[in-house]
Amino acid sequence: MKLTSSAFENNQWIPSKYTCDGEDINPHLEIGEVPEGAKSLVLIVDDPDAPMGTWVHWVVWNIEPSISLIKEGSVPEGGMEGLNNFGKHSYGGPCPPSGMHHYHFKLYALDTRLELSSSSKKEDIEKAMEGHILDWAELIGLYQR
């Protein structure tokens, strides 16, 4: 599986447009090589460098496996958004208090769809995904205030 963005390269700087210092919208993401048999995709965006532990910026599940593009500022087709650590059902861009942080955009292909409530958090999604991951891809972006 592949996950890329025209907004930034892997392990490169995320433009401020996609952060709390800009428009705070999700970047354009391109999806490729989804395995046959995938019934849904899951996207988790988090920051393991946060001072209080990993900070979750976006969780989306039941994304249609046939999509190849998540447009800038949009929810992926079929996707259900769960709660991020900002307490919102949406993308929350990088907004570190200080220093350089690594933002992990992780995409998973599953052999099932997830039956979860909209109040689900990253931990609930990860537990529901156990034993169902066919493949995964990761794109890492950097940001510093």
Q: Report d(CA 5, CA 99) in Å as an integer.
A: 23
Measured CA to CA, the distance from residue 49 to residue 115 in angstroms comes to: 30
Contact 48, 67 (CB under 8 A): no
**pTM for the complete prediction?**
0.97
Whole-number pLDDT of residue 48: 97
Pick the CATH number of 2-144 from 1.10.10.60, 3.30.470.20, 3.20.20.10, 3.90.280.10: 3.90.280.10
Domain ranges of the chain: 2-144
Give the whole-angstrom CA distance, residue 12 versus residue 143: 8
**β-pair partners for 44:** 59, 106
Q: What is the mean pLDDT of each run of 10 residues along the chain (145 residues)?
A: 98 98 97 97 97 96 97 94 97 94 98 96 98 98 94
Task: Give the model's pLDDT for residue 104.
Answer: 98
Confidence (pLDDT) at 45: 98
- Per DSSP, what are the bridge partners of residue 110? 40, 133
The pLDDT of residue 145 is 84
CB-facing half-sphere around the CA of 59: CA atoms within 13 A: 24
Residue 77, pLDDT score: 85
The pLDDT, as a whole number, for residue 59 is: 98
